[in-house]
Chain A
Amino acid sequence: MSRTIRLAGIAAMLAFSLVFLGAGKNASKPAVPPKAKAPVIDARIGVISILTGQGSGYGEAITNGFKLARDEINAKGAVRIQLVIEDSSGKQEQALAAAQKLINSEQVAAILGPTLSTEMKVAGPEANASGVPIMGTSTTAAGITQIGKYVFRNSLPESLAIPASVGMAVKKYNIRKVALLYGNDDVFTKSGFDTMKKMAEDLKLSILTIETFQKGQSDYKAQLTKIKGLNPDAVFCSALYEEGAVILSQARKMGIKVPFVGGNGFNSPKVIEIAKDAAEGLVVATPWFADKNDPKVKAFVARYRKAYGKTPDQFAAQAYDALYIMAEALRKAGTSDRAKLRDALAGIRNFDGVLGRFSFDAERDVVMEPVVLIIKNGRFQVFQ
């Protein structure tokens, strides 16, 4: 018995030792001195992103966008931003630990990220309780900014994207009866579907059927056969591009020729790469259009290509704009104090970024006009 108690003691000591590790180190770490009157505002901004594991493709684009924006902002001189980037590897526990580290060890002024809505639902309440502004750049699910008054986002939620694409398509194609298809095990596609269904009901469309699929599925023939038999005017599909492209390809092969209408998740050049000709006629709504005829967008795309060798996607563009919004708020606040920065952020209106004109609403959520795109002749074009 005394032996087992000793063993338990060793285990407990191991666990406890962690808490005291590096304890002294933190106390001496200087927080960034808020220089209220100095012309240059220094700020440490924390970033939580997926750098390893599944989803690190998003994380890479996002951190690239941040780094490009940081270099440009620092070169201008009014605000000097230091990024502290932490990995969450897409896991909620890790996102929470990273947020705690940024808030308490790194003493950042604000946090950008995390990447996924599920991560935000864990990290957001913690940042909010600690009084640290946190802004999601890719979190699109419902109920994010409702977490608390320190939680922001600049990513277009599906609840704005889908009404735009659905509304436009219904008007142009005179759609009366629709089939709905969505991935039911993903927060993003599920939120998108909820909006789609509501939109269809509001427009008094008759919903012929609602079909579901799961992440990573590769055969959609069962759902598509049923849809084909019902002969809808259009298919509203809430999917990420990985599944969406395969669905399109199989649907066209089975002879479903009606338009497909998607949300923001469908918006990726990869859809055309995977589905090829089958992607023709897909309608999506997005905040980001790389071929937009706007000097700001063109300059950003050119600089991004030069730095990273590829065209920026919407995640890079949203991250890029997010840091500019943060810099604007820092400039307005005149300090990197967390509470004042929050108030300045909440006051951002009519900010002109690469995504277009952007404002926060009273609930710190996004106000902007999405662009509706259609795939024609193998590339995304503005749907008119």
Chain B
Amino acid sequence: MPFDWLNPYHLQVASFIFINILLGASIYVTLSTGQLSLGNAGFMSIGAYASAILTTRHGIPIPIGVLTGALLAGISGVLVGIPALRLRGVYLAIATLGFGEVIRVVFVNWESLTGGAVGIAAIPQMGRETLAALEKAGFSAASVGLRNNQFISLTVFLLLFAAALLSILFFLRLSSSRIGRAYAAIRMDEAAAEAAGIDTTYYKVLAFCQGALLSGFAGALFAHATSYISPADFTYHRAVEILVFAVFGGSEHLLGPVFGGIFLTLLPEALRFISDYRYIIYGALLVAMMIYRPQGVIDPPLIRRLAGRRAAEGAGR
């Protein structure tokens, strides 16, 4: 086999990195208006459950399930956002964290729909479904020199890569648009932004909705990557994990949480050889960050330096 080096394990870790990139970006979007929302785990679960139920019980194709899940999460983002955004700072953080827990408890107790604590198993996995569909059309993984499990992992990897890349590009473009400028103005000074004629409520709810939509999208993809979900996936721990992406990577630029998502997913895997101690290093790293670089690894000056140097190199060539 020519592609023996293509290891499903590495592809698997990379796939989780892309999901975490989406989650990191989702918390950044609300943060870019200066609102700290910790409800992302809740929105993620809405997306995951909606897509899982539609595809598993009603035979809806995965792409439609994922989009429905994301939209549903976005709509609930608006519904939660309108009343919740009357709160500010830590009060908003607590209210949204509470929302996430409420959603989880609803999923635990609504047994007829969600299966309760047992969760939903045998959710169609995107890689396996793609392979099955292609095999029906007469294609086999061996014809392109891949084993079946390599092909499945590669499909998941590429789909999630595309999803993450498109989302990141969209939000990078957004940051220099009219909407992005409005977000930045609200973040710096809400009263001044309002005085300058920006409809702050509209933009804040829009940012909240975009964050929820992105979390729901990530959640739906998560469901179709692991093929099993239960309420235990979307606890308070998940919300904190997403927050840590932003805290570690940096919350002042979109690439901060993206970097946090990549690095903090990779780290525990890279440290597997010291098994028992790996989360000690994870914790120590976070503490060190708080002391030496409280704004996170990536901040706008660093981005300017990196981009500036690369631009200069490009011009020199």
Interface residues of A (CB under 8 A from B): 1-4, 6-8, 10-12, 14-16, 18-19, 21-24, 26-27, 51-53, 85-87, 89, 92-94, 96-98, 100-101, 103-105, 118, 121-122, 125-126, 129-130, 141-143, 184-187, 189-191
Contact = CB atoms under 8 A, between A and B. Distances in A.
A21 B6 CA distance: 10
B161 interface: yes
A185 B108 contact: yes
Contacts of B148: 129
A184 B231 CA distance: 11
A84 B8 CA distance: 18
Contact of A18 (B17, B21, B152): B17
Nearest to A118: B230
A11 B17 contact: no
Contacts of B17: 15, 18
B197 to A, nearest CB: 27
Given A4-B172, A97-B12, A118-B230, A52 B116 contact: no
A90 B8 CA distance: 21
Given A19-B11, A86-B272, A6 B307 contact: yes
B118 A187 contact: yes
Contacts, number: 153
Contact of B228 (A87, A92, A104): A92
Given A87-B276, A118-B230, A23 B149 contact: no
B284 to A, nearest CB: 14
12 contacts: A4-B173, A8-B165, A11-B262, A14-B262, A16-B14, A26-B5, A52-B278, A86-B272, A97-B269, A104-B149, A105-B7, A125-B122
B7 A52 contact: no
Contacts of B13: 18, 97, 100
B239 to A, nearest CB: 15
B9 A101 contact: yes
Interface string B1-34: 0001111111111101110010000000000000
Range for the number of chain B residues in contact with chain A: 35 or more
B311 interface: yes
Contact of A51 (B8, B21, B275): B275
B99 to A, nearest CB: 18
Nearest to A59: B276
Given A51-B276, A129-B128, A7 B118 contact: no
A3 B108 contact: no
Between A16, A92, A130, the greatest number of chain B beta carbons within 10 A of the residue's beta carbon is seen for A92
A104 B311 contact: no
Contacts of B179: none
B12 A96 contact: yes
A100 B9 CA distance: 5
B307 A27 contact: no
B9 A104 contact: yes
Contacts of B307: 3, 6-7
B98 interface: no
Contacts of B16: 93, 97
Contacts of A142: 118
Given A11-B255, A185-B231, A24 B12 contact: no
A22 B10 contact: yes
B5 A121 contact: no
Interface string B108-121: 11000000111101
Interface of B: 4-14, 16-18, 21, 105, 108-109, 116-119, 121-122, 125, 128, 148-149, 152-153, 157, 161, 164-165, 168-169, 172-173, 176, 226-228, 230-233, 255, 258-259, 262, 266, 268-269, 272, 275-276, 278-279, 303, 306-307, 310-311
Contacts of A16: 14
Please classify the interface of chain B as helix (H, G, I), strand (E, B), loop, or mixed, using the class held by over half of its residues: helix
Contacts of A96: 12, 226
Contacts of B11: 19
B168 A27 contact: no
Contacts of A94: 268
B4 A3 contact: no
B232 A118 contact: yes
A143 B121 contact: yes
Contacts of A130: 149
A267 B161 CA distance: 46
Nearest to B172: A4
Contacts of B6: 19, 23
A257 to B, nearest CB: 31
Contacts of A21: 10
A190 B117 contact: yes
Contacts of B311: 2-3, 6
B306 A10 contact: yes
Nearest to B104: A185
Contacts of A85: 275
Contacts of A101: 9, 272
Contacts of B172: 4, 7-8
A15 B262 CA distance: 7
A19 B165 CA distance: 16
A190 B108 CA distance: 10
Nearest to A126: B149
B275 A121 contact: no
A121 B7 contact: no
B66 to A, nearest CB: 18
A118 B10 contact: no
Contact of A187 (B109, B230, B268): B230
A52 B268 CA distance: 11
B228 A118 contact: yes
B228 A122 contact: yes
B117 A15 contact: no
Contact of B14 (A19, A22, A86): A19
Given A15-B262, A125-B227, A143-B121, A87 B275 contact: yes
A184 B269 contact: no
Contact of B165 (A12, A89, A185): A12
A96 B269 CA distance: 12
B231 A122 contact: no
A380 B125 CA distance: 45
A185 B109 CA distance: 8
